[in-house]
């Protein structure tokens, strides 16, 4: 029986790393990805007990070139990509959109929108040739239209991601490729700590119930 091959963007830490470890525990082959060689190597060291079933590629998945590199390397190492998860995402300080500098705006838009759009199209084209495969995009705050002052830009990208994924799935319904979203529950990560302010336990308890109204899809990522 052929092992399921999984690629997860932004998987050197946080939710992405947790997903990678869960897939490995299920016997899958996993390609992890960090934005730098340092973060990617650290993740690989933490997963070294899984041997050659885990590989890693340092690539900027907010741009097409980085995604193409990740995809090519996955095909080279595994021969095929069965599951591709666009998990990488950037947030920003909790402040009105007009107070964010242009560089921050560009980085969030490129990673959360451009990265997901290209990160869906690139693996889809290869999967469509085989008539099978699964692509999942990670939802987040704002996906359901919920609003919070200071989170307009991030929420906009996640709302758009949800629309894109559902519409793309509709267009691809006859391809044999499954395209959908993953909606995690609240997970304490560096991104969450930055979002809620000072990152203290008190701040998390105070703001998290208002900020995060996601629905946990239990074990939805174990779709091997």
Q: What is the pLDDT of residues 115-153, one digit of tens each?
A: 999 999 999 999 999 999 999 999 999 999 999 999 999
Among this protein's residues, is 50 annotated catalytic? Answer: no
| Domains, the chain, with CATH or none | 5-211 (3.40.50.720)
How many CB atoms are located within 10 Å of the residue 217 CB? 14
pLDDT confidence of residue 184: 84
- Cβ burial, residue 55 (10 Å; 0-12/13-18/19+): buried
Q: How far apart are CA 74 and CA 200, in angstroms?
A: 38
Largest CA distance in the chain: 54
Asked whether the predicted pLDDT for residue 204 surpasses 50, the reply is no
Q: How far apart are CA 27 and CA 4, in angstroms?
A: 8
Catalytically annotated residue among 50, 154, 163, 221: 154
């Amino acid at each position: 029986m052929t092992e399921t091959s999984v690629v997860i963007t932004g998987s050197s830490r946080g939710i992405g790393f947790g997903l990678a470890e869960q897939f490995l525990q299920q016997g899958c082959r996993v390609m992890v990805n960090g934005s730098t060689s340092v973060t990617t190597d650290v993740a690989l060291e933490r997963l070294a007990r899984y041997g050659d079933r885990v590989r890693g590629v340092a690539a900027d998945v907010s741009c097409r070139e980085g995604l193409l590199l990740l995809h090519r390397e996955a095909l080279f190492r595994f021969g095929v990509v069965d599951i591709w998860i666009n998990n990488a995402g950037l947030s920003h300080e909790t402040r009105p959109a007009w107070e964010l500098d242009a560089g921050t705006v560009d980085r969030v838009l490129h990673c959360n929108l451009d990265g997901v759009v290209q990160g869906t199209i690139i693996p889809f084209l290869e999967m469509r040739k085989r008539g099978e495969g699964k692509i999942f995009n990670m939802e987040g705050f704002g996906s359901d239209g919920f609003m919070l002052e200071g989170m307009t830009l991030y929420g906009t990208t996640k709302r758009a991601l949800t629309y894109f994924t559902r519409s793309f799935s509709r267009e691809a319904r006859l391809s044999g490729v499954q395209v959908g979203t993953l909606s995690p529950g609240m997970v304490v990560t560096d991104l969450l700590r930055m979002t809620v302010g000072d990152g203290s336990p008190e701040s998390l308890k105070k703001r998290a119930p208002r900020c995060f109204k996601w629905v946990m899809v239990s074990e939805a990522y174990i779709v091997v």
